[in-house]
Chains A and B, each alone.
Chain A
Amino acid sequence: MTDTTSNGTMLSADGTPLKVSLARALRRQKIRALMLIAPLLIFVLVTFIVPIASMLFRSVENDIVSNTLPETVQTLAGWDHASGEAPDEAVYEAMYFDMFKAAEAKEHTKLGTRLNYENTGTSSLFRKSGRGLSKIGKTWQKPIESAAKPLKDGETWFAMMSGSGSNAVLEERRVLWQNLTGDPFKGEVGITLSDDMVAMLPKTAAAYADWAIFEALEEEKDISKRDPWEAVYTALGLDLMSQETQAAVASYSGTGAEELRAVIAALDTLPEADFKGAFIDMEDGWADPDVWRTILTYSPAYTSGYFLNAVDMKKSLDGFEARPENQQIYMTLFKRTIWMSIIITTSCILLGYPVAWLLANLPLRSANVLMILVLLPFWTSLLVRTSAWKVLLQDQGVINELLVWLGFVADANRLALMHNQTGTIIAMTHILLPFMILPLYSVMKTIPPTYLRAAKSLGATNWTAFWRVYFPQSVPGIGAGSILVFILAIGYYITPEIVGGTEGIFISNRIAYHISSSLNWGLAAALGSILLAVVLVLYWLYDRIVGIDNVKLGG
Chain B
Amino acid sequence: MANTASQKAFVEFERVQKSYDGENLVVKDLNLSMPKGEFLTMLGPSGSGKTTCLMMLAGFETATHGEILLDGQPINNIPPHKRGIGMVFQNYALFPHMTVAENLSFPLEVRKFGKSEREAKIKRALDMVQMGAFGGRRPAQLSGGQQQRIALARALVFEPELVLMDEPLGALDKQLREHMQFEITRLAHDLGITTVYVTHDQTEALTMSDRVAVFDDGRIQQLAPPDQLYEEPENSFVAQFIGENNTLEGVVKSLSGDKCEVQLDGGEVIDAKPVNVKAVGDRTRVSIRPERVEINKDRLQPGAHTLKAEVLEFIYMGDIFRTRLRVAGNDEFVVKTRNAPDQVRLTPGTQIEIGWLPSDCRALDA
Query: Is B237 engaged at the interface, CB distance under 8 Å to the other chain?
Result: no
- Greatest chain A CB density within 10 A among B89, B93, B107 is at B93
Interface check A7, CB cutoff 8 A:
no
Known contacts A453-B89, A459-B81, A459-B111, A472 near B97 by CB under 8 Å:
yes
Interface pair A450/B93, CB less than 8 Å apart: yes
B95, closest chain A residue (CB): A469
Is there an interface contact between B89 and A458, defined as CB atoms closer than 8 Å?
A: no
Report yes or no: A457 in contact with B97, Cβ–Cβ below 8 A. no
Assembled-state Cα–Cα distance A5/B80 (Å) = 73
The answer on a CB contact under 8 Å between B89 and A459 is no
B110–A457 touching, CB < 8 Å = no
Say yes or no: B154 contacts A458, CB within 8 Å.
Answer: yes
Q: Does B72 contact A (CB under 8 A)?
A: no
- Distance, CA A456 to CA B155, complexed state (A): 12
- The yes or no answer to A448 lying at the interface (CB within 8 A) is yes
Partner of B60, one of A453, A468, A473: A453
A459 touching B110 in the complex, CB below 8 Å, given contacts A453-B60, A454-B87: yes
Q: Select from chain B the residue with minimum beta-carbon distance to A472.
A: B97
User: In the complex the two chains form, is B80's CB within 8 Å of A457's CB?
Assistant: yes
Our count of residue pairs bridging A and B at CB distance below 8 angstroms stands at 65
Residues of A within 8 A of B49 (CB): none
Contact A459/B93 with A453-B60, A454-B87 known, Cβ cut-off 8 Å = no
Chain A residues with CB under 8 Å of B85's CB are 457
A447, closest chain B residue (CB): B96
B106 touches A455 (CB 8 A): yes
Task: State which residues 440-465 of A face B: CB under 8 Å.
Answer: 448, 450-451, 453-461, 464-465
Complex CA distance for A461 and B233, rounded to whole angstroms: 44
B58 at the A/B interface (Cβ < 8 Å)?
Answer: yes
Residues 40-66 of chain B, each 1 if its beta carbon lies under 8 Å from chain A, else 0: 000000000000000000111000000
Could you tell me the distance between the alpha carbons of A460 and B105 in the complex, rounded to whole angstroms?
Answer: 12
Whether the pair A458, B97 counts as a contact (CB closer than 8 A) is no
- Nearest-neighbor residue (CB-CB) of B86 within chain A: A457
Whole-angstrom distance between the Cβ of A184 and the nearest chain B Cβ:
63
B91 CB-CB contact with A under 8 Å? yes
Residue from A450, A457, A461 with most neighbouring chain B CB atoms (10 Å): A457
With A459-B107, A460-B110, A464-B110: A454-B93 Cβ-Cβ less than 8 Å: yes
CB atoms of B107 and A473 under 8 A apart: no
Task: Mark out the residues of chain B between 76 and 120 whose CB falls within 8 Å of any chain A CB in the assembled complex.
Answer: 79-82, 84-87, 89-91, 93, 95-97, 106-107, 110-111
B residues 268-305 near A (Cβ < 8 Å) are: none
Tell me the complex Cα distance, A460–B107, Å.
7
Closest to B154 in A: A458
Chain A positions 461-501 with a Cβ under 8 Å from a chain B Cβ: 461, 464-465, 468-469, 472-473
Residues of A within 8 A of B91 (CB): 448, 450
Contact with B along A26-51 (1 / 0, CB 8 A): 00000000000000000000000000
Q: Which residues of A contact B80 (CB under 8 A)?
A: 453, 456-457
Contact of B106 among A453, A460, A461 (CB under 8 A): A460
| Contact (A473, B87) CB under 8 Å given A457-B80, A460-B81 | no
Give the CA-CA distance A468 to B155 in the complex, in Å. 18
**Interchain CA distance A206-B285 in the complex, whole Å:** 119
Inter-chain CA distance A450–B154, complex, in Å, is 15
Q: Could you tell me the distance in whole angstroms from the C-beta of B98 to the nearest C-beta in chain A?
A: 8
Given the complex of chains A and B, what is the CA–CA distance between A20 and B86 in angstroms? 62
Contacts of A456 in B (CB 8 A): 59-60, 79-81
Q: How large is the interface on A (under 10, 10 to 19, 20 to 34, 35 or more residues)?
A: 10 to 19
| Minimal beta-carbon separation of A364 from chain B (angstroms) | 15
Q: Check B158 against A457 for contact (C-beta < 8 Å).
A: no
Instruction: Please give the distance in Å from B224's CB to the nearest CB on chain A.
Output: 29
Point out the residues of chain A lying under 8 angstroms from B82, CB to CB. Answer: 459
Q: How many residues of B contact A (CB 8 A)?
A: 26
Cβ of A460: which chain B residues have Cβ within 8 Å of it?
81, 106-107, 110
Contact status of A453 and B93, CB under 8 A, knowing A458-B110, A460-B106, A468-B106: yes
Report the bound CA distance from A102 to B275 in whole Å. 115
Interface string of B10-34 (1 = CB under 8 A from A): 0000000000000000000000000
In the assembled complex, the CB of A512 is this many whole angstroms from the nearest CB of chain B, namely: 43
Complexed CA–CA distance, A465 and B80 (Å): 12
B94 nearest in chain A by CB position: A454
Contacts of A461 in B (CB 8 A): 81, 110
B297 to nearest A CB, angstroms?
57
In angstroms, Cα B107 to Cα A465, docked, is 11
**Are B97 and A473 in contact (CB-based, < 8 A)?**
yes
Are A459 and B96 in contact (CB-based, < 8 A)?
no
Interfacial chain B residues near A455, Cβ < 8 Å: 95, 106
Asked if A459 and B95 make an inter-chain contact with CB atoms under 8 angstroms apart, the answer reads no
Nearest Cβ in chain A — how far from B136, in angstroms? 18
B81 touches A457 (CB 8 A): yes
Nearest CB on A from B317, distance (A): 39
Bound CA span A455–B109, Å:
12
Bound-state CA distance A192–B81 (Å) is 101
With contact pairs A457-B87, A458-B158, A459-B81 given, residues A473 and B110 touching in the complex (Cβ less than 8 Å) = no
Q: Knowing A459-B81, A461-B81, A468-B106 touch, does A454 contact B89 (C-beta < 8 A)?
A: yes
Contact A459 B97 (CB under 8 A): no
Considering the chains assembled together, what is the distance between the CA atoms of A451 and B87 in angstroms? 12
Hey, which chain B residues are within 8 Å of A458, CB to CB? 81, 86-87, 106-107, 110, 154-155, 158
Chain A residues whose CB sits within 8 angstroms of the CB of B154 once the complex forms: 458
In angstroms, Cα B82 to Cα A264, docked, is: 116
Tell whether, in the assembled complex, residue A459 and residue B87 are in contact, meaning their CB atoms are under 8 Å apart: no
Closest beta carbon of chain A to B78's beta carbon, Å: 12
Residue of B nearest to A468 (CB): B106
Smallest distance from the beta carbon of A76 to chain B beta carbons, Å? Answer: 66
A168 to chain B, nearest CB (A): 75
Residue among B58, B86, B87 having the largest count of chain A Cβ atoms under 10 Å: B87
Smallest CB–CB gap between A460 and chain B, Å? 5
Which of A454, A459, A473 lies in contact with B84, CB distance below 8 A?
A: A459
Chain A residue at minimum C-beta to C-beta distance from B164: A457
Interchain CA distance A454-B95 in the complex, whole Å? 9
How many whole Å from A528's CB to the nearest CB in chain B? 38
Distance of A34 from chain B, by nearest CB (Å): 34
Q: Kindly identify which residue among B58, B60, B95 contacts A451, using a CB–CB cutoff of 8 Å.
A: B95
Residues of A within 8 A of B60 (CB): 453, 456
B152 to chain A, nearest CB (A): 13
Interchain CA distance A459-B85 in the complex, whole Å: 8
Whether the pair B158, A451 counts as a contact (CB closer than 8 A) is no
Interfacial chain B residues near A472, Cβ < 8 Å: 97
The distance from the CB of B351 to the nearest CB of chain A, in whole angstroms, is: 57
Q: Within the complex, what minimum Cβ distance (angstroms) separates B138 from chain A?
A: 13
23 A-B contact pairs sorted by A residue (CB < 8 Å): A450-B93, A451-B93, A453-B80, A453-B89, A454-B87, A454-B89, A455-B95, A456-B59, A456-B79, A456-B80, A457-B87, A457-B164, A458-B81, A458-B106, A458-B155, A459-B84, A459-B111, A459-B158, A465-B81, A469-B95, A469-B106, A472-B97, A473-B95
With A457-B164, A458-B107 known, 13 other A-B pairs at CB within 8 A are A451-B95, A453-B89, A454-B95, A455-B95, A456-B59, A457-B81, A457-B85, A458-B81, A458-B86, A458-B154, A459-B110, A465-B81, A472-B97
B positions within 8 Å CB-CB of A: 58-60, 79-82, 84-87, 89-91, 93, 95-97, 106-107, 110-111, 154-155, 158, 164
A residues with a Cβ closer than 8 A to B are 448, 450-451, 453-461, 464-465, 468-469, 472-473
Q: Which 6 A-B pairs give the minimum distances between C-beta atoms?
A: A458-B107, A454-B93, A457-B87, A450-B93, A456-B80, A472-B97
